[in-house]
Amino acid sequence: MKTAAARWLGLGLLCLGFVSPLRGEVMLQYFATDWDEIYRRLPEIGEIGYEWLWLPPPTKSPVAGVFPFGGGGNVGYNLFDRFDLGDIPQRGSLRTAYGTRGSLRRLVDQAHQCGVKIIPDIVMNHNGNGPDYRSYPGLAPNDFHVWQDSGQPGGWKRPPRMFAYDDINNGYGGTFQQELVSLIDLVTEFDGRFQGAQAPHYAPDPAPFVRHPGQNDKYPFLQGSNVAENVRQYLMRWIHWLGYAMDYDGARLDAPKHVVAEFFGAPGQVGRLNHEIQWNFDNRRGFTDADETDELYRNDIRRDDALIFAEMFVGSVNQVDYWRNAGVKMRYLDFPRKSGMLFPAFNNGNLGALSGFSGFSDQEGVMFAHSHDESPPWKLELAYAYLLTHVGLPVVYFTGNNLSQTNVDRNTWLKIGHGGALGDYHNLLPNLVYIHNHFARGREWERWSEGDFYAYERYDDRNGNSQPDAPEGLLLVGLNDSGVWQTREVQTVFAPGTVLHDYTGNNGADIAVKSNGKAELAVPPGANGQGWVCYAPYNAAADGDPLRFSPAQPMPWVVPGGRLAAAKPRTLARLTADAVDIDVHFAAPPGGSVDNVLVKWGPGMDLNPAAANDTGRDLVSGGFEQAVEVAPGHWRLSATLTNVAEGLHTVKARCFNARPAGFPALFQTFAEVVYVDRRGPDLEVATPAEGETIPGSAVVVIRNPDRTAQRVDVVFDNGATNAAHEVMKGLWKCAMPWLGSGAHTLTVRAVETDGGEPPAPLRTSAVARAFAVDANGPALALNHAEGAVLTRPFFTTALSVPAGVGAADCALFWDGYRLAGLAGTGTVTHVFDGRYLSGGVESRLWGAFVNGAHFFEAEAVAGGQTTRLARTVFFDLYGRGEVDSDGDGLPDDVEMPGFSAGTSPGPNVPWPGDSNWDMAPNPGEHWTRLNPMNADTTYDGVWDGDEDWDGDGFSNLCEVQQGHAQHGNPYFYDIYSAASHPDACDGAGLPARASWSPEQPTRCPGGVLTVTYEPHQGPLSNAAPILIHIGCNGWTNVQDASMADIG
C-alpha cells in the first residue's frame, strides 16, 4: 500500500494519503413538497451526495388551503404563528403547508442520519398579511411598524408598502420602516428610531408583557412562562425554541435587507439574532467554540459554526457594506454573480462573461442560478455545469416535480425548480453533483475564454503558491454554447501521459495529456446549445454491487415522483442484527490500483473501536473509518450497530487511487442508504402514568420517539382492540372507555411497516401499563357519543352533572386545551369557538374547527370528588371537509370563491377593493369580498358570519348553514347575491330532519329501508344514542333499534 502521509489516531494506522481538504458542498433547495414526501426521497438525496437541505419556512401561515396552492400558493413567508410547526389546531389545520411537527422532526432526524444538514428559511422581519393584525399569537399591534390612528381599522394604520428598496441611509431609511410587499413588519430596531418623537406617526413599543402565559414548552431555558418581553426578545426566544424543536444546522435569513444591522449583531453579542443562532447550534451539538464564526466562511470543512446566509437582493457587493461595517457576520446569496456573470453567460450567450468577476467571494457568497422567486437563465443546465464545478457553495433548486408551468402566476408565485435534481427525468444534475464531490475541489484556473467556449481547471494547490503546477490537476471543464462541436488545445497541469475521462459521458473519447501538458478539449454541442465536458483521471469502478451488507435483507421502498413524475420502486438493505459487515467491491482504475478504502456511516460515527477513525473535519476523509483488505478489490469494515438509531442511514465507501508522492488524492465513492431495524417502534405511554388512579376515564397519550410506528392499537383489560389515532408522527391518542372502579391494565401495540405500496409489516412492539380507576365521583355525562361526527361550527357541548354542580365546578378539555366559556348549572354547556385558558389568561385559536379526530375530556368536582369522562369525536366541516381558516364559521371558498385553489384573487393580485395592498379595508376602499383570513373583515366588531353582505336580511352564516341543512351544500345560497337566500333563519337553529331511501320501499322479503335522521338543533340534538321506533299494522310488532352515527 503506497501512501504519502499517514496519521496515528490512537487506535491504529489510518491511511489518509493525498487528502486535499478544499472540497465544497452542494445544497438542495427543496420547496413545494410535503415533509413526508421529502422523507421518502432521502435515499436519493443521500446517495446522490447533497449535503444540505434548504427548506421553506416551517411555521404556520394564515391559511390552511389545499396544498400546494392554498391562498395563492402560500409558501410560508407570510407566517401567522412562529411557535406553530404543525402541532396547534388553528387556521383551519393542524399541519402547516408542508405537514405536522412530527413529520418535520422525522425528516430532520433521518436527514441527519443520512449525513444531510438542514437549513430552514427564517422569517424575522414580518408576519403574513390577511389576519386581523391584533390576533397574531404572542404579539401586540404596536410590535409592528404601525401608525396610531383611531380612524383606521382596529385603531392602527399600516405604513405604506415598500417600493424604495435601496433607501438604507445607514439604517434610518424607508427600507426599514415600510412594509415589504405589504407583509406587516416587526419592530426589529432596538432604539425606537421609527417611533415616538423621532417619528410622530408611529406607535411606541408596548411595555414588555408575558407573551405565552402558562405555555412553558415555548420557553426553552425553563425560566417559566411568566417572563415579560419586548418583540426583539420574543424573536430571540423563538430562534432558540426553533433550534430545539427542529434541530437546524444553520439558517437562511429572509428579507434581511429590511432589518437593521444591530438586530443581527456582531459575533458574541448576546441578544442579537446571529449570535443566538450560533450559541444555540453550539449548545445542541456540544461544541465549545471560542470563535463562533471562524468556520462560517469555509467550504472545505465540517463546520463547528452554524451556516447562516442572507437573501440580500442587491446588484453589487458593496450594497451590503452597511451590515458588514456594523460587524455582522453572515454569508450572502450571490445575486451580483447571478446578474453580473451568470445571466450574461447563460442567458445572453457570452461565456466570456465568466472571465470577469462579479459577485461575492466563494467564502462569503452562496451561488445559485434560480430560486423560488428568481427566474433561471435560458441555458440553465449549462449554468449548473458551471456552478457545480466552480469554486464555492452552490445551490440546486427543486420543487419536487409538484409544480407545472400552468400553476405559475395562476395558483402560485413560486418559480419552478429543475425537475431533474433527483434524477426523475435524466441524470444530468446527479452526475454533476458526483463530479463536484469527487473532483471539483481546490483552486480554479481559467484555461480558455471566448463568447462560445470557456474552459477552466480545478487543481489542488499543494505547494500553496496560488498557481497551478504539475502535477496538481484534478478536473478539466469545458463549456460550449455554440450549438456545434468546439475543440481547443488547452494547457493543463496534469502529468504528461495522464489519461483523462469525461465523467459526464457527453464525449465518449478519452484524452491523453501531451508531453507539454496540453490537451485537446472537444466539447459537443449538447441539447439546445448546452454542451459541457468534465475530464479527470480514472478512479475505481464498481465490481457488481459495490456495497454489500451482511446480514441484510431487501426491503421495498417506493420513491415518490411528486405530482408530475412517476414513482420509482426500489429496495433498501434492511439491517436487523446488532452488527453488520460492510463489504466494498471494486475494480481498480485502468492502469492503476487502489491503496486504501475508508467507510463513513451517516455524519461520521465510530462503529468499530478496533478501526482507526479520522476525527478530522475535512470533507474528504473526516468521519471515515479504516476498512481492511480482504482480497484484491475487496475491503471490509465490521460495524457494531447497538448505538445506531433506527431508520435511514447513508453508508459511504471511499476508494483511494494509489498515486505517487506530490499528486493530489483521487478517489471513488460508493454510497447507499440502508434501513436499520433492530427492534420494533419505541413506545412511551405518557397518560396514564404507571400506577396512576384515574377518576373515571381519560385520553390515553402514546408517544413514539423514533416515529416509526404506522399503526398503534390499545387493549384494555385484555379485551377488545381499540385503534389509536395518529395525531402526528410520534404522537397517538385513544379515548379510554368507562371501565369502572378498580385495578386495570392497558397494553399498547405498535406496528412498523416497510416503504412499499401497500406497506407490509416489519416489526411490532408492545408496552403494558397498570393503573386504577376511581369511579365514585359525581355523575357525569357528555352529549357527544364516542366516535360522533360534528359537522357544524359553534356546536354545543353539554355536560350533565348533578343539580347544584355548576360551570365553576367543571372543566372541559379539547385536545389538551382547557376551554373557556362554560356556563350553567346541572347542565353545563360550552359553545366551541376556539377560546381556551392558559396560565389563567384567556386566548383564542383562530380557525380551531380542524377536520379530523379530536379528544374531549370533561371533568366535574362535587363533594371533594372528581369524575372525568373522555370522548373521541371527528370534525368534518359541513360534512364535506370544508376549511375555515379564520374561525368565523364560513368556509374559505364561500368568502372568496377559488381561494383554496389559489386562483382567487391569485398570486401577486390585490384583494378586490384593497387599493394599497395592506389587507385592511381603509376608509375610501370598497371591498367586494370577505377575507377568509380575518373573522372580522371590516374591523367593526361584528364577525363575518353575522354580517349580511348582500343585504337580503339573512346573515352570511345563516345562508351557509341553511344551505348545508336543507341541501347538503353550504354553497347553495350565494352570500353575495340578494336573490339567493333561504326562506327563514330563526334563532332556534336548524330543525331536525328525517328521510328514507328508497322513497317507495319494497314490501318483498329481503327489502331494505334506510332511514336517516339529522337532529340539527331539534329536540334530540344532544341525545346519544338515538333509537328508532319501528312498528306496522297499527303499531304491532313494535321494535326499538339503535341508529348508527354516520355524521
Read off the pLDDT of residues 492-550 as tens digits, 9 standing for 90 and up: 999 999 999 999 999 999 999 999 999 999 999 999 999 999 999 999 999 999 999 99
Q: At what angle do helices 380-387 and 428-439 cross, to 10 degrees?
A: 20
Q: How far apart are CA 698 and CA 352, in angstroms?
A: 72
Grid cell of 299 as nine digits: 467550504
The alpha carbon torsion through 685, 690, 693, 697 (nearest 10 deg) reads 20
CA 664 to CA 468: how far, in whole Å? 12
Closest by CA to 104, choosing from 113, 116, 95, is 95
pTM: 0.93
Residues sharing a CB contact under 8 Å with residue 86, sequence separation 6 or more, in sequence order: 58, 60, 94, 95, 96, 98, 99, 100, 101, 102, 103, 104, 728
- Alpha-carbon distance of 41 to 131, in angstroms, equals 35
Choices 2.60.120, 3.30.70, 3.30.390, 2.60.40: CATH for 542-676: 2.60.40
Q: What's the average model confidence in pLDDT over 838-862?
A: 97
If one compares 348 and 162, the residue with the highest pLDDT of the two is 348
* Residue range 799-826, pLDDT digits in tens: 999 999 999 999 999 999 999 999 999 9
Question: What's the CATH number for 27-124+380-434?
Answer: 3.30.750.90
Do the beta carbons of residue 908 and residue 413 sit within 8 Å?
yes
442 contacts 458 by C-beta, under 8 angstroms: yes
- Lowest mean pLDDT segment, chosen from 11-15, 337-341, 372-376, 407-411: 11-15
**DSSP state string for 731-796:** EEEEEPPP--SEEEEEEEEEEEE-BSSS--EEEEEEEEEEEEE---S---EESSPTTEEE-STT-E
N-to-C CA span, the chain: 74
What is the pLDDT confidence band of residue 153, given thresholds at 50, 70 and 90? confident
Q: Indicate if the pLDDT at residue 294 is higher than 60.
A: yes
Closest C-alpha among 938, 847, 940 to residue 886: 847
Is pLDDT of 1017 > 70?
no
- Asked whether the domain spanning 684-773 has the same topology as the one spanning 441-537, the reply is yes
Residues above pLDDT 70, as percent of the chain = 93
Residues 891 and 946: beta-carbon distance below 8 Å:
no
Reply yes or no: is the peptide bond before residue 998 cis, omega within 30 of 0.
yes
CA distance 691 to 769: 8
At residue 9 the predicted structure's pLDDT band, cuts being 50, 70 and 90, is very low
> Chain-centre distance of CA 213, in angstroms?
27
The pLDDT of residue 70: 62
Q: Give CATH for domain 781-875.
A: 2.60.40.1220
Residue 204 has pLDDT above 70, yes or no: yes
Give Cα separations from 661 to 5, 928, 990 (angstroms): 9, 77, 88
Residue 8 has pLDDT above 50, yes or no: no
Dihedral of CA atoms 614, 620, 623, 624 in degrees, nearest 10, equals: -70
The residues that bridge with 147 in the sheet, in sequence order, are: 157, 202
What the block records as the C-alpha cell of 20 is 486535499
Exposure string of 959-979, with b = 16+ CB inside 10 Å and e = fewer, is: bbbbbbbeeeebbbbbbeeee
Q: What residues pair up with 745 in beta bridges, in sequence order?
A: 770
441-537: CATH number: 2.60.40.1180
Cell numbers given for 1043: 341508529
Indicate if the pLDDT at residue 66 is higher than 60: no
Q: Which is nearest to 530 in space by CA: 731, 383, 708?
A: 383
C-alpha cell at 598: 475508508
Name the β-bridge partners of 550: 581
Identify the bridge partners of residue 7 per DSSP, sorted by sequence position: 14
Cell 337580503 maps to which residue? 952
171 CB-side CA count, 13 A:
19
Question: So what's the pLDDT on residue 335?
Answer: 97
Q: Are 710 and 751 in contact (CB under 8 A)?
A: yes
1043 three-state secondary structure? coil
- Residue 1029 pLDDT > 80: no
Answer yes or no: are the C-beta atoms of 760 and 711 closer than 8 Å: no
Whether residue 848 contacts residue 887, with contact meaning beta carbons closer than 8 Å, is answered with yes
Cell numbers 418535520: residue = 104
Dig out the grid coordinates for 899 from the structure: 381561494
Q: Quick check: 969 pLDDT over 60?
A: yes
> Do 100 and 87 form a contact (C-beta atoms < 8 A)?
yes
Domain boundaries, the chain: 27-124+380-434, 441-537, 542-676, 684-773, 781-875, 993-1042
**CA–CA distance from 985 to each of 86, 283, 374, 879, 938 (Å)?**
37, 60, 51, 20, 23
Q: With 70 as the cut, is the pLDDT of residue 4 above it?
A: no
Q: Is 761 exposed, middle or buried (0-12, 13-18, 19+ CB in 10 A)?
A: exposed
Beta strands in 615-728 (DSSP E): 625-626, 628-631, 634-640, 647-657, 667-676, 684-687, 693-694, 699-703, 709-716, 721-723, 725-728
Identify any residues that bridge with 1010 across adjacent strands, giving them in sequence order: 997
What gap in Å lies between CA 274 and CA 258, rounded to an integer?
A: 16
Considering the chain, what percentage of its residues have pLDDT values greater than 90?
A: 80
Q: Which residues make beta-bridge pairs with 760?
A: none
pLDDT value of residue 6: 24
| Range list of H helices, 101-189 | 101-113, 174-177
The answer to which of 197-211, 223-237, 462-476, 769-783 has the lowest mean pLDDT is: 197-211
Give the per-residue pLDDT at 72: 55
Helix, strand and coil content of the chain, in percent to the nearest 5, comes to 15, 30, 55
Selecting from 3.30.420.40, 2.60.40.10, 3.30.450.40, 3.90.600.10, what CATH number does the domain 684-773 have? 2.60.40.10
